[in-house]
C-alpha cells in the first residue's frame, strides 16, 4: 500500500492484517503511517538518483549538450524528486537543465500548446527526461504540434518502461526500466521474514532504475561527422536486427568503404566492432536486470541464437552468459 494520506481510510471497516509492504512516495514521511503503528512493515522507497544517473549517461553517450525535465503537472513528491535528482546529476557534470512549468489553469488544449511552444523555444538538439512514460507521451505529442522532429530535434526519455505506452507511441519511446518485479519479490521475502521473527531481516527495499530500454525516441547521436552520427543512430534504433554493414552503408547512400573509413576516423573503432559492442552491452544489461532466457536475449540483441551469444561472451568476457548473470 501507499503512504498517501487517506488511502488506509478507504479499507473496509474491520480490515485487519499483521504486516504491510508500504510504498513511500517521494519525500513522504508521515501520511497514513499512524494506522500502521504496531504492525511489522517493510518500506519500498523510490530511488530517484539511479533514474537520474541512467538518464544522464544515456543522453551524454549520444552527445547531447542541452537538457530539460518535464514533470507531472501536479508535481507530486516522486516527480519533484526525479526532477531535482536529474538537475543535481547534470550540475555535478557542469551542465544545466531547463525545467518545464505548466500553466496553473487552462484546458487540455491550452496546456498542450503551452508545452509545444516551450519546447520550440529551447536550444536544440534537446534531451528531455519526462517524469514517467505517460508524461513522455505528452512530450512526443507536443513535439508533433510544434513541428519538432524526434529524436533529431528533441530526444525523449520516459520512466517505468511500460510496454503498452512505450511501444505504441510514434516513435517508440525509450524509457528507464525500474526493477519493480525484483523489488516486489525482495519486499515480500523481507515481510515474510519479519512476520516469522527472523533477526536481521531488511526493513527497507529500494526501487530504482536498472537500465535504459532504448527505442527510437532517443536513437540520435551527435558528432563531428553527420554520416557517422546517422550510422550510430541507425544501429541504436535497430539493435535487435541483424544488419550487415553493407546494408547500413547502402541505406545511408555511401559505399561500405566510405562508411568504414569515416566511422573509424570519428570514433577510433571499426564499425563492425562498434555494432558488436552495442549488442553485448545490451545483452549484459538484460542479463543483469531481467529473467529473460539467453535465447530471448540473443533475439533482442540481434544475435542469431543463444549458442552464438555464448560464444561471443566467452570470447569477450571469458565467461558464459549464465555465469555472467550469476556473478551480477
CA distances from 61 to 37, 220, 235 (A): 47, 10, 14
CA distances from 34 to 5, 82, 191 (A): 10, 27, 19
Q: Which helix (H) or strand (E) holds 69?
A: strand 66-70
Q: At a CB cut-off of 8 Å and minimum separation 6, what does 53 contact? A: 89, 209
Q: Where in the chain is the domain with CATH 3.40.50.2300?
A: 48-176+212-218
Query: For residues 96 and 34, which has the higher predicted lDDT (pLDDT)?
Result: 96
pLDDT at 101: 94
pLDDT at 31: 47
pLDDT at 281 over 50: yes
For 137-194, how does the pLDDT look when each residue is reduced to its tens digit (9 = 90+)? 999 999 999 999 999 999 999 999 999 999 999 999 999 999 877 777 778 887 888 7
CA distances from 255 to 223, 248, 267 (A): 20, 9, 18
pLDDT at 164: 93
pLDDT at 11: 63
Burial degree of 218 (CB within 10 A; 0-12, 13-18, 19+): buried
The number of beta carbons lying within 10 Å of the beta carbon of residue 177 is 20
For 58-113, how does the pLDDT look when each residue is reduced to its tens digit (9 = 90+)? 999 999 999 999 999 888 999 999 999 999 999 999 999 999 999 888 788 899 99
Q: Confirm whether pTM is higher than 0.75.
A: yes
Confirm if 40 and 131 have CB atoms less than 8 A apart.
no
Query: For residues 117 and 201, which has the higher predicted lDDT (pLDDT)?
Result: 117
Confirm if 43 and 201 have CB atoms less than 8 A apart.
no
The fold for domain 48-176+212-218 equals Rossmann fold (3.40.50)
Q: How far apart are CA 297 and CA 283, in angstroms?
A: 6
Q: Where in the chain is the domain with CATH 1.10.10.60?
A: 226-327
100: alpha, beta or left? (left if phi > 0; alpha if psi -120 to 50): beta
Domain 226-327 has what CATH class?
mainly alpha
Confirm if 129 and 86 have CB atoms less than 8 A apart.
yes
Task: Calculate what percentage of the chain has a pLDDT beyond 90.
Answer: 65
Amino acid at each position: 500500500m501507499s503512504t498517501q494520506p487517506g488511502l488506509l481510510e478507504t479499507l473496509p471497516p474491520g480490515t485487519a492484517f499483521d504486516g504491510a509492504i508500504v510504498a513511500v512516495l517521494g519525500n513522504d514521511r508521515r501520511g497514513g503511517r499512524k494506522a500502521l503503528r504496531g504492525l511489522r512493515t517493510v518500506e519500498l522507497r523510490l530511488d530517484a538518483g539511479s533514474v537520474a544517473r541512467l538518464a544522464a549517461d544515456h543522453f551524454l553517450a549520444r552527445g547531447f549538450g542541452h537538457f530539460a525535465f518535464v514533470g507531472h503537472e501536479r508535481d507530486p513528491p516522486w516527480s519533484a524528486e526525479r526532477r531535482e535528482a536529474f538537475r543535481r546529476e547534470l550540475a555535478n557534470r557542469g551542465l544545466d537543465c531547463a525545467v518545464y512549468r505548466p500553466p496553473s489553469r487552462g484546458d487540455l488544449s491550452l496546456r498542450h500548446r503551452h508545452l509545444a511552444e516551450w519546447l520550440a523555444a529551447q536550444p536544440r538538439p534537446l534531451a528531455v527526461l519526462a517524469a514517467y512514460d505517460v508524461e513522455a507521451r505528452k512530450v512526443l505529442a507536443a513535439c508533433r504540434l510544434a513541428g519538432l522532429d524526434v529524436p533529431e530535434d528533441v530526444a525523449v526519455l520516459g520512466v517505468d518502461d511500460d510496454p503498452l505506452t512505450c511501444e505504441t507511441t510514434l516513435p517508440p519511446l525509450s524509457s528507464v526500466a525500474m526493477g519493480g518485479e525484483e523489488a516486489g519479490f525482495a519486499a515480500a521475502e523481507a515481510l515474510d521474514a519479519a512476520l516469522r521473527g527472523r533477526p536481521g531481516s531488511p526493513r527497507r527495499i529500494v526501487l530504482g532504475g536498472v537500465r535504459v530500454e532504448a527505442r527510437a525516441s532517443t536513437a540520435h547521436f551527435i558528432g563531428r561527422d553527420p554520416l557517422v552520427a546517422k550510422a550510430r543512430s541507425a544501429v541504436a534504433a535497430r539493435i535487435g536486427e541483424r544488419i550487415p554493414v553493407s546494408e547500413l552503408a547502402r541505406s545511408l547512400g555511401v559505399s561500405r568503404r566510405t562508411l568504414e573509413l569515416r566511422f573509424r576516423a570519428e570514433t577510433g573503432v571499426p564499425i563492425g566492432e562498434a555494432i558488436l559492442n552495442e549488442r553485448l552491452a545490451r545483452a549484459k544489461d538484460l542479463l543483469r536486470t531481467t529473467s529473460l532466457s539467453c535465447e530471448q536475449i540473443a533475439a533482442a540483441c540481434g544475435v542469431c541464437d543463444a549458442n552464438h551469444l555464448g560464444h561471443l561472451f566467452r570470447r569477450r568476457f571469458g565467461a558464459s552468459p549464465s555465469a555472467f548473470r550469476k556473478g551480477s
